[in-house]
Amino acid sequence: MSKRPSSSDSDEWKHQAQLMMTAWKLKDMATKEARDRQKTTRPPGKCRFCHHDHPTYQCTSLSPAEKMEKAVKKNICIICLAYAHHHPASCRGLRMTNTLCHAQQCRKNYNIHNASICGNSAPPPKVTTIEDIPDDNSE
Protein backbone atom coordinates (compact mmCIF):
# COMPACT_ATOMS: atom_id res chain seq x y z
CA MET A 1 0.00 0.00 0.00
CA SER A 2 2.22 2.66 -1.13
CA LYS A 3 0.35 5.85 -1.57
CA ARG A 4 2.16 7.67 -4.24
CA PRO A 5 2.38 11.32 -3.65
CA SER A 6 1.83 11.89 -7.33
CA SER A 7 -1.89 11.08 -7.04
CA SER A 8 -2.54 13.88 -4.62
CA ASP A 9 -0.22 15.97 -6.70
CA SER A 10 -2.31 15.41 -9.76
CA ASP A 11 -5.44 16.18 -7.77
CA GLU A 12 -3.89 19.40 -6.71
CA TRP A 13 -2.85 20.08 -10.24
CA LYS A 14 -6.37 19.37 -11.47
CA HIS A 15 -7.73 21.76 -8.93
CA GLN A 16 -5.24 24.39 -9.98
CA ALA A 17 -6.06 23.81 -13.59
CA GLN A 18 -9.72 24.18 -12.85
CA LEU A 19 -9.10 27.41 -11.04
CA MET A 20 -6.98 28.65 -13.87
CA MET A 21 -9.59 27.64 -16.36
CA THR A 22 -12.29 29.49 -14.45
CA ALA A 23 -10.13 32.55 -14.12
CA TRP A 24 -9.30 32.41 -17.77
CA LYS A 25 -12.94 32.03 -18.70
CA LEU A 26 -13.89 34.93 -16.49
CA LYS A 27 -11.17 37.03 -18.02
CA ASP A 28 -12.32 36.07 -21.46
CA MET A 29 -15.85 37.01 -20.57
CA ALA A 30 -14.68 40.28 -19.12
CA THR A 31 -12.71 41.22 -22.18
CA LYS A 32 -15.58 40.18 -24.37
CA GLU A 33 -17.92 42.30 -22.35
CA ALA A 34 -15.54 45.22 -22.52
CA ARG A 35 -15.30 44.79 -26.24
CA ASP A 36 -19.07 44.73 -26.49
CA ARG A 37 -19.36 47.78 -24.32
CA GLN A 38 -16.81 49.56 -26.46
CA LYS A 39 -18.84 48.63 -29.48
CA THR A 40 -22.06 49.97 -28.05
CA THR A 41 -20.58 53.16 -26.66
CA ARG A 42 -19.06 53.99 -29.99
CA PRO A 43 -21.11 56.83 -31.41
CA PRO A 44 -23.44 55.61 -34.09
CA GLY A 45 -22.68 56.67 -37.59
CA LYS A 46 -24.05 60.00 -38.51
CA CYS A 47 -26.98 60.34 -40.80
CA ARG A 48 -25.81 59.96 -44.36
CA PHE A 49 -28.36 62.43 -45.56
CA CYS A 50 -27.98 65.40 -43.26
CA HIS A 51 -24.91 64.43 -41.14
CA HIS A 52 -26.74 64.93 -37.88
CA ASP A 53 -26.53 62.51 -34.96
CA HIS A 54 -29.22 60.04 -35.83
CA PRO A 55 -29.41 56.84 -37.80
CA THR A 56 -29.95 57.41 -41.47
CA TYR A 57 -33.25 55.60 -41.48
CA GLN A 58 -34.54 57.89 -38.73
CA CYS A 59 -33.79 61.06 -40.59
CA THR A 60 -36.60 63.55 -40.48
CA SER A 61 -34.54 66.52 -41.59
CA LEU A 62 -35.31 65.86 -45.20
CA SER A 63 -38.47 64.93 -46.97
CA PRO A 64 -38.64 61.46 -48.49
CA ALA A 65 -38.29 62.97 -51.95
CA GLU A 66 -35.17 64.87 -50.91
CA LYS A 67 -33.70 61.78 -49.33
CA MET A 68 -34.37 59.78 -52.45
CA GLU A 69 -32.65 62.44 -54.52
CA LYS A 70 -29.68 62.64 -52.14
CA ALA A 71 -29.37 58.87 -52.13
CA VAL A 72 -28.99 58.83 -55.87
CA LYS A 73 -26.50 61.69 -55.84
CA LYS A 74 -24.38 60.32 -53.00
CA ASN A 75 -24.53 56.74 -54.16
CA ILE A 76 -26.48 55.61 -51.14
CA CYS A 77 -28.38 52.38 -51.50
CA ILE A 78 -32.09 53.18 -51.32
CA ILE A 79 -32.78 49.75 -49.90
CA CYS A 80 -30.40 49.52 -46.96
CA LEU A 81 -29.31 53.16 -46.80
CA ALA A 82 -25.63 52.25 -46.70
CA TYR A 83 -23.17 53.56 -49.18
CA ALA A 84 -23.89 51.40 -52.15
CA HIS A 85 -20.95 49.30 -53.07
CA HIS A 86 -23.28 46.56 -54.02
CA HIS A 87 -25.90 45.79 -56.57
CA PRO A 88 -29.44 46.35 -55.33
CA ALA A 89 -30.21 42.74 -56.17
CA SER A 90 -27.56 41.59 -53.71
CA CYS A 91 -28.49 44.11 -51.04
CA ARG A 92 -28.92 42.47 -47.67
CA GLY A 93 -31.65 44.99 -46.99
CA LEU A 94 -33.85 42.96 -49.28
CA ARG A 95 -34.06 40.32 -46.59
CA MET A 96 -35.13 42.79 -43.95
CA THR A 97 -38.58 43.16 -45.36
CA ASN A 98 -39.84 45.10 -42.39
CA THR A 99 -37.63 48.02 -43.39
CA LEU A 100 -38.76 47.94 -46.96
CA CYS A 101 -41.50 50.04 -48.36
CA HIS A 102 -44.77 48.21 -48.66
CA ALA A 103 -46.74 50.99 -50.27
CA GLN A 104 -49.03 49.66 -52.92
CA GLN A 105 -47.97 52.34 -55.33
CA CYS A 106 -44.32 51.30 -55.11
CA ARG A 107 -44.95 47.59 -55.20
CA LYS A 108 -47.00 48.03 -58.30
CA ASN A 109 -44.03 49.65 -60.01
CA TYR A 110 -41.53 47.14 -58.56
CA ASN A 111 -39.99 50.09 -56.86
CA ILE A 112 -38.03 48.59 -53.99
CA HIS A 113 -36.64 50.96 -51.40
CA ASN A 114 -36.42 51.63 -47.71
CA ALA A 115 -39.71 52.72 -46.21
CA SER A 116 -38.07 55.63 -44.44
CA ILE A 117 -37.24 57.39 -47.67
CA CYS A 118 -40.54 56.75 -49.36
CA GLY A 119 -43.24 59.37 -49.51
CA ASN A 120 -45.91 56.81 -50.25
CA SER A 121 -45.45 54.57 -47.23
CA ALA A 122 -46.50 57.21 -44.76
CA PRO A 123 -48.39 60.44 -45.03
CA PRO A 124 -45.70 62.92 -46.05
CA PRO A 125 -44.95 65.56 -43.47
CA LYS A 126 -45.97 69.06 -44.31
CA VAL A 127 -42.88 70.58 -45.82
CA THR A 128 -43.31 73.99 -47.28
CA THR A 129 -39.91 74.20 -48.90
CA ILE A 130 -40.49 71.35 -51.29
CA GLU A 131 -42.63 71.88 -54.31
CA ASP A 132 -44.90 69.30 -55.73
CA ILE A 133 -42.87 66.89 -57.73
CA PRO A 134 -44.65 66.05 -60.93
CA ASP A 135 -44.83 62.32 -61.23
CA ASP A 136 -44.51 60.96 -64.68
CA ASN A 137 -46.87 58.07 -64.54
CA SER A 138 -49.25 59.50 -67.03
CA GLU A 139 -51.71 56.91 -68.04
Verify binding: residue 68, Zn ion, rule CB under 5 A.
no
Closer residue to Zn ion (CB): 9 or 53: 53
Q: Which of residues 19-58 bind Zn ion (CB under 5 A)?
A: 47, 49-50, 52
Give the CB-side neighbour count of residue 114, counting CA atoms within 13 A.
Answer: 22
Verify binding: residue 64, Zn ion, rule CB under 5 A.
no
Give the CB-side neighbour count of residue 28, counting CA atoms within 13 A.
Answer: 6
Verify binding: residue 94, Zn ion, rule CB under 5 A.
no
Rounded CA-CA distance 91/78 in Å is 10
Query: Is 61 in contact with 49 (CB distance < 8 Å)?
Result: yes
Closer residue to Zn ion (CB): 4 or 108: 108
Cα Rg, the chain, nearest whole Å: 28
Binding site for Zn ion (CB under 5 A): 47, 49-50, 52, 59, 61, 77, 79-80, 91, 93, 101, 103, 106, 118, 120
